[in-house]
Amino acid sequence: MKDESKIVVAGRHPEKYEGAVNPPVYHASTIVSKTMAEWEDSRRRREAGERGVYYGRVGTPTSFALEDFVTELEGGDHARVFPSGIAAIGTALTAYLNAGDHILVADNVYGPCRRLCERFLARFGVEHSFFDPLDPGSVEGLFRPNTKVLYLEAPGSLTFEMLDIPRLAALGKAKGATVMMDNTWASPLFFKPFAHGVDVSIHAATKYLVGHSDAMLGVVSCTDAAWPPLAECVVDLGQCAGPDDVYLGQRGARTLAVRLERHQQTALALTDFFWSRPEVDCVMYPGHPRDPGHDLWKRDFTGASGLFGITLKPLPEAALRAFVDRLQFFHLGASWGGYESLMLVTHPNDMRSVSKWPYPGPTLRFHAGLEAAEDLILDFEAGFQQMRAAAA
């Protein structure tokens, strides 16, 4: 079955719900058994790790619908939903790391993930180190005998360097580490982590799966082999997501293919535009043929999403502000992946330690929304005009 068709059918069971196309939203904490035998059977199945409806926190048909969707589309064996992307990251890290272990992390990962390593995991005796995403040759030497997790994100969601995932995953496996990847940028549609050697895939479902900027959600999916520690940790830490948010996640997911196709087309048009502008130093988008990561992206990914970055040539602060404030479709916001365009002024060097971001001018991140590309380009042209006026 093609992915576009899986997106429509995966995780749906109208036959179980009187023909209703979508799964019901189970507002449930207590699940009752009528007899002792039923209760004992339910307890036995739960203790044996069988999936079932035992208690609201451990899953309902609403959460199973989204989990099955991600599992089928991404090609994994299991998935669990979380109340946010960072909750998904934190729980996944906690599941595979013990006091005295070491985690090796790409230097360009999502900032709060770095902080989890530097603050939270350090408090529990987990060592961390970072590797330069543009120097894959340096990674092997950074493994320690106690390295238990290799953590990747491709492309990095601030600076968009691509990683050679199959090569790094093979190296991580050879060293006995669990290979984990934040796959939010590509979504389960455009990158298949398990086919490329990854053991655990993480999604800030808040972004493209929800797709409408109206719910916080995370998903972790994994292989059979990686499942037991994750399943246990999810229960121990009491991770679950609210039924309405999970419902919004599975609803948004049904249009993932059409939305992402449009985000991609618009991002390509916008990155082409930025490459033509004299104010711009560099454009970061692996889907664009001029990007240094384009060949890796083309080899391993089946599409590019709507998130990309640019660096401007150095300019007065007032000129930058004039550009940003003039934009009408791009408001400043920390998130991305919704239907709307969005931007962020980023500071890459604040978020890395072993690699230096080489561009001296300001770095901006854009999410290409579903508006007409022509309107977005007109918006940027007006912004550049304002920038020139302010600089003069």
110 near ligand PLP (CB under 6 A): yes
Does residue 216 bind ligand PLP (CB under 6 A)?
yes
- Kindly tell me which of 86 and 282 has the beta carbon lying closer to ligand PLP: 86
Catalytic residue, chosen from 46, 51, 57, 298, is: 57
Among 182, 279, 291, 300, indicate the residue that binds ligand PLP (CB under 6 A).
182
| Shortest distance in whole angstroms from residue 39 CB to ligand PLP | 36
Query: What residues from 190 to 209 belong to the interface with ligand PLP (CB under 6 A)?
Result: 204, 206
* Strand, coil or helix: 102: strand
Q: Which of 218, 249, 362, 383 binds ligand PLP (CB under 6 A)?
A: 218
The rounded distance, in Å, linking the Cα atoms of 118 and 126 is: 9
Which of 93, 89, 109 is closest to 148 using CA atoms? 93
H/E stretch holding 323 reads helix 317-326
110 annotated active-site: yes
Say if residue 155 is preceded by a cis peptide, omega within 30 of 0: yes
Minimum Å gap between C-beta 48 and ligand PLP is 32
Kindly state the DSSP code that residue 51 receives in the 8-state scheme: -
With vertex at residue 54, the alpha carbon angle to CA 11 and CA 21, rounded to the nearest 5 degrees, is: 25
Question: Which 8-state DSSP code applies to residue 57?
Answer: G
**Residue 86 is a binding residue for ligand PLP (CB under 6 A):** yes
Considering 12, 192, 207, 251, which one is annotated as catalytic? 207
The region of 78-86, 161-169, 257-265, 338-346 touching ligand PLP under the rule CB under 6 A is: 78-86
Query: What is the DSSP pairing of strand 280-284 with strand 218-222?
Result: unpaired
Q: Which of 213, 223, 265, 335 binds ligand PLP (CB under 6 A)?
A: 335
CA dihedral sign, ordered 142, 301, 346, 203: negative
Count how many residues are written for the chain: 392
Q: Which residues bind ligand PLP (CB under 6 A)?
A: 84-86, 110, 157, 182, 184, 204, 206, 216, 218, 335
Report, as residue numbers or ranges, the catalytic residues: 57, 110, 182, 207
